Structure 1
Amino acid sequence: MKKHLLLVKNITLALLLSAGAAVAAETTALLKPLTPVEDFVRRPKLDRITFSPSGKQFAALSEVKGRMNLLVVDVAKGDIRQVSSFESNDVAGFRWISEQRLVFSVTDYRRGLAEQTGGGLMAVDADGRGGRTLSPTQQDCMLANKICRSTEFFERVPGSEDEIIAWSNERSADSPDLIRLNTRTGKRTLITEDNPGSVRHWALDRELQARAALSVDSNTLASTFWYRDSERAPWRKLAVSPAFQPEIEPLAFDKEGSLYVATALESKDKKAIYKFDPVAGKLGEKIAAHPRFDLGLAENPRNPGRAASPLIFDPLTHALIGLRIDGDKSETVWFEEKLAKVQAAMDATLPKGNVNSLQPLADGQIVVNTSGGSDPGATYLYDPLKAELREIVRPRAWLDRAQAAEVRVLRYKARDGLEIPAYLTLPSGKEAKKLPLVAWIHGGPWARDEYRWDPDAQFLASRGYAVLQPNYRGSMGFGSKHLYAGFKQLGQSMQDDVTDGIAKLIADGVVDAERVCIGGASYGGYATLMGLAREPGLFKCGIDVVGVSDLTWWLELGYTDFNQSTAAGAGAFLREAIGNPVTDRAIMDAHSPRQLAAKIKAPLLIIHGAGDRRVPIVHAEAMRDALSAQGRPPEWLVFPDEGHGFMLEANRIAYYKRIEAFLAKHIGR
């Protein structure tokens, strides 16, 4: 143990942690060569540990009589209070808004994704009293026969016990407002009465007034950066950016009233952070930049909405104290010396390779959350005065970290020279030579894989497979050049990026060329089908999960949830990113897997949710029928109660077991 740190267990929470410890002991006693499928699926005994502002208590989700309910724990005494008692719903996300009050939404873990009617916004005191519904759930709206609008938490109101700033689209479905919401009385005060329209991001000053905004025209996708000098001053249009050109993203105001923004105007690629000079109407001092990664609002352009700023401010003084970077591994750069020293101490003490995030508390203690590609994570409290680090909870205590697979950061060159970031998960106890491989492709495609505990990758590795997860061109967070290089390249250079990564692993001797499979969900399912069609000699099998089989349907199926919710914006973006079904029809058809069934020779497993509204099951059915017409029907698994993904524990167990059997049959262990 490092001399500068004392690591102790928190014995005051023995009652709370006994359930997790019992599961861990039982797992150890019944240790088998393979970790049971159920261990990758089961929910944590305590989930989403979140400390109150003072750090004297924390809230968490825990299963009570078969439902995930909200608990509050007194850290010093170990007292546990159940503050919700749902019997027909489960608490989903929650946040502390003050030392004694929380807000939360609900879901239903006994229903598949296709049948979810959760959501809403509720509030409750830390002692279980004062409960109030602030925004209806989807079921409430359906019962009242009305269209459901949303009210969601935006940020706390410092110094207030009961109020929050909330995001709301009640006044306009296409142009959300910010409101000041009293969680006890339900009183709403509109902050953005003179909304400039179609706002995607808001930035509030220290007085919680909306002073900067970014709006996006849903038809042209042009963005506008707005600013005003005070809450009563008129909005000024400071910059207009055409679609897919660098825009100015307002991030936050500091204690002096300076506005920080993110933009790629200077680099024409990676977003950097600047102070903005509103008088001159131009960028000021550059605060931070990274040569490989964007620094700015992380979001999906297909689903515009509020995204978290990477800047970290002191909750009391509002001074800028740190910066989070979503790199190969997440990291935090602290501008405050004492926090920088604590970060260095945590990184030196906790398991090597883990990502350790700090949350300073009002009492001087620091919450430390640690996790990594090979570690599902734990929460600690660190006392700088005592140099004492106490483990509070390890939510997945039944998982043996010693048996977890190693996750490596990998970079390789695509055939045209573009650098592709990736992750390689290697099965524990096996030499990295001539391994069977599953290329597991992320969805989106405008998303990214991250360095984290990934149950899919860890499950596959536990069965003896290496797992490659490439952030192919079109993935987000690596600059606009990497992102836009994927536009209109689905099934083309985006597919080559996957193949080139596999080729490198084969050339390096890590992977057995005769035992390679490809799989993934959503776009990953599309990439699976295209991989089988383009590289029939490479892939011995494929696993298509809720995948797209026809590119034109992505735009033409008007009953998908995405096209219904933002039809104009969806169409404008997809026509540029995928193709125009009129002018680009020939190339889109040429890269639609259902029309390439004759080229697919390898065995295929198709898994879909019957209620999928993002990629309707017609995609899976058309692929099945096309392959069957060629005399090669795929294996078929449909969950009637699921949608675009699988929520029910029994379904997820069946999902993993079916994949396990399919892979064992075709590329062995």
Structure 2
Amino acid sequence: MKRILCTFAMLWSLSPATGSATTAVTMPIPAQELHHESLIARPMYSPDGHWIAARMHVSDEDRTLGIIDAQTLAYTPVFSLEKDQFLTDYLWLDSKNLLLDLTIDGRFRQVVLVLENSGGKLRSTIKPLKLALTVLSPDEGTGTFLVAYRVSDVAKAAVHRVRVDQLFDWKLPPDTLVDASLPNVTSYMYDSLNKILFATQHDRENSVVSVSSKKLSDRSWTKIFSKKDYKGEFTAVRYIDKTTLMVLSDESNDTVAVQSYDITTQQVKETLYSNTAYDVNKVITDNQGKMVGVGYVSDGVQTTQYFETNRANLLAMLQQTFPNKSVQLLDESKDLKQLLLFVSSADYAGAYYLLDVNTGKASMLEEVLPDLNQYRMYQSQVIKTEVEPGVQLESYLTLPAPEQANKALIVMPHGGPIGVREYNSFNPDVQYLASRGFAVLRVNFRGSSGFGKKFQDSGVGQFGQRIERDISAVVSQVRKQHQFSQSCAMGGSYGGYSSMMLAIQHPDLYQCVVGQYGIYDLPYLFVEDQFMQEPDARKPVEAAVGKYNKGLRDVSPVYLADKVKAPVLLLAGGEDSTARIEHSYRMEMALKAFKRPVETIYYKKAGHGPYNNYWAAHELAASAEFIRKSLNLKEYGSELTDKALRAKVAKDLALLGEGYGYGWMLEANPTLADSYTARSATFGATEGVYQRALTQLNQFGNFQQGVELLEQAAAQGNVEAKYTAAFYYAFGYQVTPNYTKAMDYANQALANGGTARGHLIKAYLYCTGRGVPQDLQRCLELMDLKKLQAVPEIKRPNPLDATTPMFFTTTAMIIRDAKFTQEQLAQFHAMVTEQFNIYPVDFTVDDLEPGYFKDQEFQKNQSVFKFEKERVFGLNFAVKKLMQSKSNAVLVYISLQQANGEFQLIKSEMIAGTGKDGWGIRYQLTSADKPGIYRIELADLSGNKLASQDFTIQP
């Protein structure tokens, strides 16, 4: 476990306080400011203590791993993340090399970041790994470190001691092998003080969990713990002597305690420390391995208790410096002169500090979410409730500002329910609801972790029974102490189930229910798929629900839908493998069968929870909006008079409208999207005006109104609106072109940090000479994406988002509209080849095959059919005389016949490839489209017409 320095200098003063001097405003906090990437995350010292690695997220375009000088606190970015890259973890191998875990295009990758201090400047290079490794210990001065990786036999794992230069081949050298003798290893741990390796094994066939240990110099392992069907805690800390181990265990205790354990008898010898109320979750030892402190969660806050005077005094002074805050000692410098602290609380997202032990000065590295300092935040009260003799529940009640209070209580059961708990720490959802006037209650009912195994085990099989009685007992206590006129139950996973059961059991107490990713049909858990017929597959379900029995129907909301009185909102994920969306489908149908009010939000791509921060914010805003409507409350933020503050609140309405506008995550709902965005615009949010414009354009097909709204949003400073207005005015998609406005809006968008797509609109105008004199060289310069890509993302004035499809569209439009000489055309072709390796050749189209999709099957040779929203139609075709070894291009123009008989362009694009497997063009009808005659025309890169096909789409 983590060691902390042995002695401290006397600290006479400590500074500073947390947060900024900004005056906090009492107002509804926008969801996306709470569900936001931390500005700083996971700082950690290098082994030599000179550097601190930290992840920084300034914006989506400015995400870096950087190195902080531990003396000057200067930050140097050493690795910039591109749009499709995510840094999931990192670890120092030694003081010059970091192992990075990355997700790139959804795939796991590992690289070593090599640091070099050249002339006072920190530089870095990247070396990719071919293996998937886990580092067990960094270099401790030997030039080597321990790693583990999976070998071809998945039942075994191997440990190696390696140098950095040995990491980059497909196999680690045989002479680096430390051990590969144990089967079924799930994890390793290394005791660096005693040079001892621990391995945890799980024999699933026999349901046996065991722990073994060995010195690195030994050939054989010693089995120190082995239990069948073991569900308790057993974590090795380190050896006390040759036969005695210090462990965290509840083997002979109700709560997890620090115990000495005899490896010969495999029995606990004595308890070194225990807390009768809480499980110990951390042991702190000094350089000699002596226990000097422990950690546990007390009153919902991670708490450290030191047994040594100097440490206890330091912690007491830190608590005085940061009153009402949790102070965690995370790391230390090698010379023991600096400590890395994390300071946070229920009403403060937190900040990282460096503490100089000698001077007592605490210097802030950075705050986690500094933008939240402008808003009022809310502390939580700890509530203790005795539900039975000797059984006490711990809960947290967050109250809103008195002037904001709407006298409504949100009861928020946690998920799990077994082995999960609530904390009295910063919770974005709680802060969001409290800022909207709600009181929020979270209960650690029986089954929750952290309070001992008896407390946790007493929740098993108590779905809809003891657990809900516990929650209701606390609700009753809180309602006696505070005046609430209305209540709503809201929770995720098991919390969704519990929220539904609370409303069923107490129909007069709850006026609404929000169930997020919930389970509602307990018998269905045992038959979800064919694997559930296997006893081992049922064990995780039985560990929470208990054995299958007919009585499960009596505590399943699906079979109790007639007892629901309150309006219900069900949220679920289409890719949820934990609480399958079928549960929500069944709950929805059952409620509708009894004519109970129910709304649903099904996120197509979500798993067991929000897809990302954006959709977490959407889910939170949608839930709060449903609660507002159900409880007949006024519009959030309607009391605000400041226009800027009203616009901030209205961002959530724009977010809701945007979510319903595209159909990727949610089924597109133009009416709902327009309603939300119109309300947002009325409230003063430019995002609302912009999103409403997109709804009119993309969903309703009201192009003139859509462009007018774009201009309104652009006038209010919305950068995306400026770009989109430039797009429509340049290309004239179902609107009258205005090339002067197109150039003006493109320039404005670029000047305000808009994407580089603005360069491509300007390129179209210069190439075609529309609104400006024709200037081919300027056009080619603006289309040079490779030059822009060469600039590190963090330094680009204009991001490259979506520039490739825009390049293809722009190319098609330029070839159609530009009056090029043969020489100019050749120059343009050369640019396209340079940018995307696409070669212009002469070819002809053959085997033209029109059709549409029905039940995922392409109906061939069909050009007349009925209009259906989301119907896809198009062309299959072959080409002759292609350069089969190189990419070629076909230009596509899709038009709709107008009332005067002329065809107006609605889409243009370029498709590229070798064409070996044939070519295809697809167009999906949306609610913005209408019945009529559609025409698809094909051309080559020289503008030569290749084919034309009309489709008659009937009402």
Matches of 1:77 and 1:225 in 2, distance apart? Answer: 44
Matched with 2:541 is 574
Matches of 2:470 and 2:130 in 1, distance apart? Answer: 44
Report how far residue 80 of structure 1 moved.
3.1
Matches of 1:246 and 1:73 in 2, distance apart? Answer: 41
DSSP 3-state at the match of 1:84: strand
Report how far residue 202 of structure 1 moved.
4.5
> In 2, are the aligned partners of 1:606 and 1:635 still within 8 Å (CA)?
yes
Which letter maps to 1:644? H
Find 2:602's aligned residue among 638, 650, 660: 638
Residue by residue over 1:478-510, the C-alpha shift from the partner in whole angstroms, topping out at 9 and shown as x without a partner, is 1110111011111211121111111111122x2
Matches of 1:459 and 1:71 in 2, distance apart? Answer: 31
Which letter maps to 1:243? D
> In 2, are the aligned partners of 1:164 and 1:183 still within 8 Å (CA)?
no
Matched with 2:110 is 121
Question: Is residue 97 of structure 1 aligned with residue 84 of structure 2?
Answer: no
Residue by residue over 1:402-431, the C-alpha shift from the partner in whole angstroms, topping out at 9 and shown as x without a partner, is 711111222212367632122211213469
Find 1:82's aligned residue among 77, 86, 91: 77
Question: Is residue 441 of structure 1 aligned with residue 418 of structure 2?
Answer: no
Matches of 1:451 and 1:183 in 2, distance apart? Answer: 42
DSSP 3-state at the match of 1:488: coil
Find 2:480's aligned residue among 489, 507, 511: 507
Matched with 1:519 is 490
Matched with 2:65 is 70
Question: Is residue 332 of structure 1 aligned with residue 304 of structure 2?
Answer: yes
Which letter maps to 1:165? V
> In 2, are the aligned partners of 1:67 and 1:89 still within 8 Å (CA)?
no
Question: Is residue 666 of structure 1 aligned with residue 630 of structure 2?
Answer: yes
The farther-off stretch of 87-96 and 246-255 is 246-255
Matched with 1:39 is 33
DSSP 3-state at the match of 2:372: coil
DSSP 3-state at the match of 1:441: coil
Residue by residue over 1:25-79, the C-alpha shift from the partner in whole angstroms, topping out at 9 and shown as x without a partner, is 7xx69x5732222221222333333333444332222236626331222243454
What do you get for the CA RMSD once the two structures are aligned? 3.4
Matches of 1:52 and 1:229 in 2, distance apart? Answer: 26
Matches of 1:234 and 1:499 in 2, distance apart? Answer: 55
Inter-CA distance 652–596: structure 2 relative to 1 (3 Å threshold): same
Matched with 1:57 is 51
Report how far residue 9 of structure 1 moved.
9.5
Residue by residue over 1:104-136, the C-alpha shift from the partner in whole angstroms, topping out at 9 and shown as x without a partner, is 32347xxxxxxx834443321345534233467
Find 1:469's aligned residue among 431, 435, 442: 442
Inter-CA distance 486–65: structure 2 relative to 1 (3 Å threshold): closer
Which letter maps to 2:166? T
Residue by residue over 1:447-481, the C-alpha shift from the partner in whole angstroms, topping out at 9 and shown as x without a partner, is 11122111111111111111111111111121110
Which letter maps to 2:595? G
Inter-CA distance 482–120: structure 2 relative to 1 (3 Å threshold): farther
DSSP 3-state at the match of 1:105: strand
The farther-off stretch of 282-291 and 59-68 is 59-68
Question: Is residue 557 of structure 1 aligned with residue 538 of structure 2?
Answer: no
DSSP 3-state at the match of 2:606: coil
Matched with 1:451 is 424
Matches of 1:552 and 1:177 in 2, distance apart? Answer: 42
Inter-CA distance 177–334: structure 2 relative to 1 (3 Å threshold): farther
Matches of 1:255 and 1:372 in 2, distance apart? Answer: 39
Q: TM-score, normalised by structure 1?
A: 0.81
Which letter maps to 1:34? P
Residue by residue over 1:311-351, the C-alpha shift from the partner in whole angstroms, topping out at 9 and shown as x without a partner, is 2345x655544322233221122345433322111011113
Matches of 1:527 and 1:321 in 2, distance apart? Answer: 41
Find 2:399's aligned residue among 397, 419, 426: 426
> In 1, are the aligned partners of 2:157 and 2:183 still within 8 Å (CA)?
no
> In 2, are the aligned partners of 1:69 and 1:90 still within 8 Å (CA)?
no
Matched with 2:517 is 546
Matched with 1:614 is 578
For residues 207-226 of structure 1, what are the structure 2 equivalents within 5 Å? 208-210=195-197, 212-219=198-205, 221-226=207-212
Structure with greater proportional helix content: 2
Which letter maps to 2:126? G
Report how far residue 6 of structure 1 moved.
3.9
DSSP 3-state at the match of 1:424: strand
Q: Structure 1 unaligned segments of length 5 or more: list them.
A: 11-19, 109-115, 137-149, 297-309
Matched with 2:184 is 197
Q: TM-score, normalised by structure 2?
A: 0.58
Report how far residue 648 of structure 1 moved.
3.1
Residue by residue over 1:381-418, the C-alpha shift from the partner in whole angstroms, topping out at 9 and shown as x without a partner, is 11121121212211211113871111122221236763
Matches of 1:271 and 1:405 in 2, distance apart? Answer: 32
> In 2, are the aligned partners of 1:67 and 1:90 still within 8 Å (CA)?
no
Find 1:529's aligned residue among 493, 497, 500: 500
Matches of 1:219 and 1:483 in 2, distance apart? Answer: 26
The farther-off stretch of 153-162 and 385-394 is 153-162
Find 1:165's aligned residue among 137, 140, 147: 147
Matches of 2:13 and 2:242 in 1, distance apart? Answer: 36
> In 2, are the aligned partners of 1:97 and 1:164 still within 8 Å (CA)?
no
Report how far residue 102 of structure 1 moved.
1.9
> In 2, are the aligned partners of 1:358 and 1:368 still within 8 Å (CA)?
yes
Find 1:286's aligned residue among 245, 253, 271: 271
Matches of 2:240 and 2:407 in 1, distance apart? Answer: 52
Matches of 1:604 and 1:414 in 2, distance apart? Answer: 29
> In 1, are the aligned partners of 2:17 and 2:321 still within 8 Å (CA)?
no
Inter-CA distance 551–321: structure 2 relative to 1 (3 Å threshold): same
In the comparison of the two structures, how many residue pairs are matched?
Answer: 607
Which letter maps to 1:634? V
Which letter maps to 2:248? A
Matches of 1:622 and 1:538 in 2, distance apart? Answer: 24
Which letter maps to 1:552? P
> In 1, are the aligned partners of 2:493 and 2:516 still within 8 Å (CA)?
yes
DSSP 3-state at the match of 1:83: strand
> In 2, are the aligned partners of 1:357 and 1:370 still within 8 Å (CA)?
no
Q: Structure 2 unaligned segments of length 5 or more: list them.
A: 1-9, 116-121, 635-955
For residues 40-439 of structure 1, what are the structure 2 equivalents within 5 Å? 40-63=34-57, 66=61, 68-87=63-82, 88-107=84-103, 117-126=106-115, 127=122, 129-134=124-129, 151-159=133-141, 163-166=145-148, 168-173=149-154, 178-180=159-161, 182-186=163-167, 187=172, 189-195=176-182, 197-199=184-186, 202=189, 204=191, 206=193, 208-210=195-197, 212-219=198-205, 221-227=207-213, 232=218, 234-243=220-229, 248-253=234-239, 259-267=245-253, 269-279=254-264, 281-296=266-281, 310-314=282-286, 320-328=291-299, 329-363=301-335, 364-400=337-373, 403-414=376-387, 418-429=391-402, 435-439=407-411
Matches of 1:92 and 1:199 in 2, distance apart? Answer: 20
Report how far residue 183 of structure 1 moved.
4.4
Residue by residue over 1:225-249, the C-alpha shift from the partner in whole angstroms, topping out at 9 and shown as x without a partner, is 5455775354444554343565644
Matches of 2:292 and 2:388 in 1, distance apart? Answer: 42
Matches of 1:605 and 1:135 in 2, distance apart? Answer: 47
Matches of 2:234 and 2:614 in 1, distance apart? Answer: 46
> In 2, are the aligned partners of 1:132 and 1:184 still within 8 Å (CA)?
no
Matches of 1:247 and 1:369 in 2, distance apart? Answer: 27
Matches of 1:648 and 1:280 in 2, distance apart? Answer: 49
Matches of 1:158 and 1:319 in 2, distance apart? Answer: 20
> In 2, are the aligned partners of 1:191 and 1:209 still within 8 Å (CA)?
no
Which letter maps to 2:507? P
Bigger radius of gyration, 1 or 2? 2
Matches of 2:581 and 2:455 in 1, distance apart? Answer: 31
Matches of 2:224 and 2:242 in 1, distance apart? Answer: 21
Matches of 2:184 and 2:350 in 1, distance apart? Answer: 42
Inter-CA distance 568–232: structure 2 relative to 1 (3 Å threshold): farther
Report how far residue 438 of structure 1 moved.
0.8
Inter-CA distance 534–183: structure 2 relative to 1 (3 Å threshold): farther
